[in-house]
Structure 1
Amino acid sequence: MPQLTAITRFPIKGLGPDSLDRIALEANKTLHMDRAHAIENGPSPFNDAAPGHVKKKHFLMLAGQAGLARLNCRYREKDGTYSVNLDGAGPITILLDNPATHTPLLDALRALLGEAIRGPLRLVHAPGQAMTDISQPQISLINAASVRDVSEKAGHTLDPLRFRGNLLIDGLAPWEEFDLIGHEIRIGGVTCRVESRIRRCVATSVDPQRGALDTDVPAALFEHYGHMDCGIYLSVLEDGEIALGDPISLA
């Protein structure tokens, strides 16, 4: 039976992963703290007085700033701290909800990314709205077998982390997850509805360990399958907790 093998969130869009053993899901919401914050790359339509979803092109992201993958990041939920270090250097630690602490991190990002910075950097947050690639409150799921299949065809082992999904499962056949669209599935004891496939961009071409472009994943997907999709979006239908090892089944 397919099982849940990884749970991952990205507290700051474009930056490093936060891996979890378990997490509580809430109906009609994204994964808690996933892309809860984003770093504005120069002026954007983000409105502090009425914060909401803004297109990803206005923020730092792997698709435009591959060097972000070189950052080693750690989020501590109990005190809201976020620590970043680069190439073994001492960590820079900020409080996500305290703008007075953000300057050292933003300065380090300017030094790392250089000309990719379009203007003043600012960490933004929209309560109740994740800064994901879509505005809908959904979570993403990746099938490990599909990643292995495209790896084989591309002639290069691809880390599933490239696809920056919230949930990684194993035990399905390659691409079988696409057959689940329109159906309800259960992850452990939580029911979710499978909404759509995820179309992939150049961000998946970034090696998550080296922070460099190395494999044109969208091109490989199109060449071998005639599409550029990998992964599916889910809507959470009820509150409940999921954990590594949970079985995946049709509801």
Structure 2
Amino acid sequence: MLRLSALYRYPLKSGKAEVLQQIGLDKLGLDGDRRWMLVDEASGRFLTQRAVAKMSQLSALWNASGGLTLSSPGYAPLEVPLPGGDAELRGVTIWRDTLRVPDAGDEAAAWVSEFIGKPTRLVQMPLERARTTQAGFGKDDDQVAFADGYPLLLIGQASLDDLSQRIGRPMEMLRFRPNLVIEGGEPFAEDGWKRLRIGDVEFRAVKPCSRCILTTIDPQTGERSADREPFATLEAYRKTEEGAIFGQNLINDGAGHLEVGMPVTILE
């Protein structure tokens, strides 16, 4: 029997994960998931662990006000409120998308600039300013916040176990930054899923997830693997025209609620 074995949220794009037992969903995926992002102050270009590996040590937890609590070893925590309706709109670029979103203000900017080591701004994604997902996958009105391309990422636990066995040492699931982990299936069973239901929510699998060098960053230490694992092994046995595939991008149809332990039903 398939079941939901883990839930993860990433309030700040490329920041640390929050481990959850339950969570609601809105039209952009998990409530609060990747609704905040760091951008270069001068260019508005988004920042991630690909270029700034130390972001793996940046904790940005959702707080009771709907804002963020920023923290990292050696830095005093900062409570960042949700930007109000009069917040400055900043032009930002994430991949091929250019948009204007609320800036979190100068106090937050000073904190993240000190952490990153160059002038940086913190921005937030309201529901009404969401991006559309990649054309050709999903529906024309599917939307996403600051995740790379799609609202949700699912990985089967058996797939990670298979990869770890091939590498010869355990790999941490958080190297792959999933939202949903499913246990009880065969390795890479998720590659063949088109529609599934968890609790009262239905999901569409719209595109396999092609992986990059970010997977070589240890989520605990922020250090890169000297042997390029697990990316090297993924390239050896999971390479496709789309890249080295690991996990499935999902879109939820409607709002709802998820809780660890829920059964998973494959509809198609």
TM class, shorter-length: 0.7 to 0.9
**How many percent identity over aligned positions?**
28
AA aligned opposite 2:54 = G
Q: Matches of 2:74 and 2:58 in 1, distance apart? A: 9
Q: 1:230 aligns with which of 246, 252, 264?
A: 246
AA aligned opposite 2:217 = V
Q: Matches of 1:127 and 1:84 in 2, distance apart? A: 19
Q: Matches of 2:160 and 2:108 in 1, distance apart? A: 33
Q: Matches of 1:153 and 1:89 in 2, distance apart? A: 39
Change (3 A) 1:249 1:231: same
Q: Matches of 2:57 and 2:257 in 1, distance apart? A: 31
Structure number having the greater strand percentage: 2
The C-alpha deviation readout for 1:111-137, integer Å capped at 9, x for no partner, is 4433xx4xx311222322201111x5x
TM-score in terms of structure 1 length? 0.81
Q: Matches of 1:163 and 1:147 in 2, distance apart? A: 9
Aligned partner of residue 59 in structure 1, secondary structure: coil
Q: Kindly report which structure 2 residues correspond to 1:64-213, keeping only aligned pairs within 5 A, or say none.
A: 64-76=51-63, 78-87=64-73, 89-97=75-83, 102-114=105-117, 117=118, 120-128=119-127, 129=130, 130-134=145-149, 136=150, 138-180=151-193, 183-213=194-224
Change (3 A) 1:211 1:24: same
> Between Structure 1 and Structure 2, how many residues are aligned?
229
Q: CA deviation at 1:152?
A: 1.8
Q: CA deviation at 1:213?
A: 0.8
Q: CA deviation at 1:19?
A: 2.4
AA aligned opposite 1:64 = A
Q: CA deviation at 1:38?
A: 0.8
- The answer on 1:12 being equivalent to 2:12 is yes
Aligned partner of residue 215 in structure 2, secondary structure: helix
Q: Please name the residue that 2:29 is paired with.
A: 30
TM-score in terms of structure 2 length? 0.77
- Structure 2: which 5+ residue stretches go unaligned? 88-102, 131-144
- Structure 1: which 5+ residue stretches go unaligned? 46-57
